Amino acid sequence: MTGIDIPDIVYAVVFGTMVIFGVKYISGIFHAWALGANEKQYRALAERVVTLQAESQASLSAVQADLAKIASGLAEIERILKQVE
């Protein structure tokens, strides 16, 4: 027969459909894997930010305490200078 063979067309359509869905499935797997990797990186970044923020808060508290000491010392010096006058 020299015409188009119907079973060959059906096989080609079924095979093509299987290939398309297979590629879509594999693409979904890679996409989920990439999202998981990004989520781990964001989680690590968030933990690092929390740690750095805590350190920054501790440093700020220390600076404020030092500034309070300096201000009280300066007030004491001003008081002494006023008494001397």
If one counts every other C-beta atom within 10 angstroms of the C-beta of residue 46, the result is 10
What's the pLDDT tens digit per position in 16-29?
999 999 999 999 99
Within a 13 Å sphere around the CA of 38, how many CA atoms are in the beta-carbon half? 6
Residue 1 reports pLDDT greater than 90: no
- The end-to-end CA distance of the chain, in Å, is 125
Residue 2 pLDDT: 57
For the residues 5-9, what does the mean pLDDT come to? 84
What's the pLDDT tens digit per position in 39-56?
889 999 999 999 999 999
**pTM confidence score:** 0.53
* 5: confidence class by pLDDT, cuts 50, 70, 90: confident
